[in-house]
Amino acid sequence: MKKHVITLALTIVVSLSALSLSGCDSSSSYERVDCGKYGTIYQIFPYSFADSNGDGIGDIKGISDKLDYIADLGFTGIWINPVQPSPTYHKYDTTDYYSIDPDFGTIDDYKAMVEKAHSLDLTVYLDLVINHTSTQHDWFKQSANAHVSGDTSNAYYNYYYWNQGGSGDNGTYSRYGSSDWYYSHYSGDTQMPRLNLQWVLDDPECALAKELENIMEFWLVECDVDGFRLDAVTSYFPSGDTTAFLTWLVDTARSYKADCYIVGEGSWGTSSSNSSYLESGIDSFFCFDDAKTSGYILKTLSNGNARLLASGINNNLSVFDNVNNIPSPFIVNHDCNGRLVSMANARKETQNLKFAYATLQMYTGSTYHYYGDEIGMACASTTKDEDARAPFYWGDSYTPDYVSNSTSISQDEAYPYGSAKKLLSKKDSSVNYVRKVNQVRNSHPAIFSGGIEEIYESADRTFSANVKTCDSESLLILLNASKTDSYTYTNDTSYTSIIADLSTISGTKLQSQGSELIVPPLSICILG
């Protein structure tokens, strides 16, 4: 792990012997330090994010035009869902790995977007989908024709898994047309045939291996992305050595860009399910232990259980060594069929959303935030993917249309907090709170990269005092998960300077009476 030198400009130092403590530090009190791979990442679903040309569809230029918004909120990078040509709105079944879907723009638009992101000190991660393609991809058409015609010399013959005369016993197979050939496909979707990654393991010099090498080089070098999010890692093989393939992929990617960052979508179960994959040298996997209403973060809120902060972080660090690999905690993404405002029961209780977000950002690792959750975007109570991929409400001409098959709900239901434009103008809004939390996180290595120890908890467990420590600093983090009651904590430690008061309820702030700290409900307060 890198050693960091922390610089705090205009740091506000307050004696704990004062009768009362000031509230939040001003945003000018925090200076972002080099977080390395411990990023604060903003996830973008491109179809629904920002429409620059008025056709109702989000596009790459729209992303470029709104990068200032993302950077201003203190995010350090973006993960963009697939942008390559595809017959679907979600683009997870590409027909061409080397270009941009016309709905979204051109490869030149993409390169310009990356260049602007880098000028704003934002990293860019590409969603790399190599477990399957579209049936409309030329590779698949060539491979299918070769099997039907018996042309074993065709260069694409082995690009996919094929079985003659039956469905086979390795994964899901479907019949190709009226032939007696069957092909393996992803997750029950017959339009997403699986690439034969076993061929790459068996022969690293094979045509498919060379093609995948070219794809990674194209995006890392020519397009200058900073790394990849790997889709559906657990589905790479009907049966095969996933760790060995990941090792090949990671080594190949780093041969083109040594410091590229790679995070995988692995098991949706416990983080420990991905332990063996870490032997590949991959940087991270998403921590589904933390996600959704059942995860550690929202249970801190819903159960009023402050001790879950330390247990959630330590659960992740029992899997990730925090040196060669790091956790990637999150609450919700494009696959989780929900929105943070609903999961946190925060349509009217905005402090719930703020508290959930602040709790996430106290977690060690590289955290991920789903576009629009900062403005309280909501969705219908369905299991449709489309409903969790609704248009971002900018309050200007950049707001896209809904994707087809979305559930129709009113604007008030979909955006209970209003537009981004409206929220940016309100001092105590969810958007401005997100900015403040990000600024605090990005200025303190102990928060984004430190280990944690709980040193005190209240009898009812609604309050905890925790120490987060890394090579360069140590911080005291006080967390009050009670929705109604302040907690009085006697501070007998050496932490005597306020770093941040992340109170969520308007009109409340951290106070003191001598050595006693009065921590408001639903708040996180940090001392150094």
Tens of pLDDT along 326-360? 999 999 999 987 899 999 999 999 999 999 999 99
pLDDT at 170: 58
CA gap 399, 419 in Å, rounded: 10
How far apart (Å, rounded) are the C-alpha atoms in residues 365 and 127? 19
Residue 23 clears pLDDT 70, i.e. is over it: no
Instruction: Compute, in degrees rounded to 10, the torsion defined by CA atoms 405, 411, 416, 421.
Output: 110
Query: Could you give the CA distance from residue 467 to residue 480 in angstroms, rounded to a whole number?
Result: 15
Distance CA 431, CA 433 (A): 5
d(CA 20, CA 476): 18
- What are 82's two structure tokens? 């697939």
Average pLDDT of the chain to the nearest whole number: 92
Q: Which helix (H) or strand (E) holds 523?
A: strand 523-527
Residue 85 has a pLDDT of 98
- Lowest mean pLDDT across 118-122, 291-295, 516-520: 291-295
Quick check: 67 pLDDT over 70?
Answer: yes
Q: What is the pLDDT of residue 518?
A: 97
What would the two tokens of residue 481 be?
């998960």
- pLDDT at 337 (0 to 100): 72
Q: How many CB atoms lie within 10 A of CB 416?
A: 17
> Taking 50 as the threshold, does the pLDDT of residue 115 lie above it?
yes
DSSP string, 43-60: EE-GGGT--SSSSSS--H
C-alpha torsion sign, points 496, 501, 505, 508: positive
CA–CA distance, 400 with 393 (Å, rounded to integer): 8
- At residue 486, the 3 state secondary structure works out as coil
What residues contact 84, with CB distance under 8 A and at least 6 apart?
91, 94, 95, 96, 97, 98, 99, 100, 101
Across 154-162, average pLDDT: 97
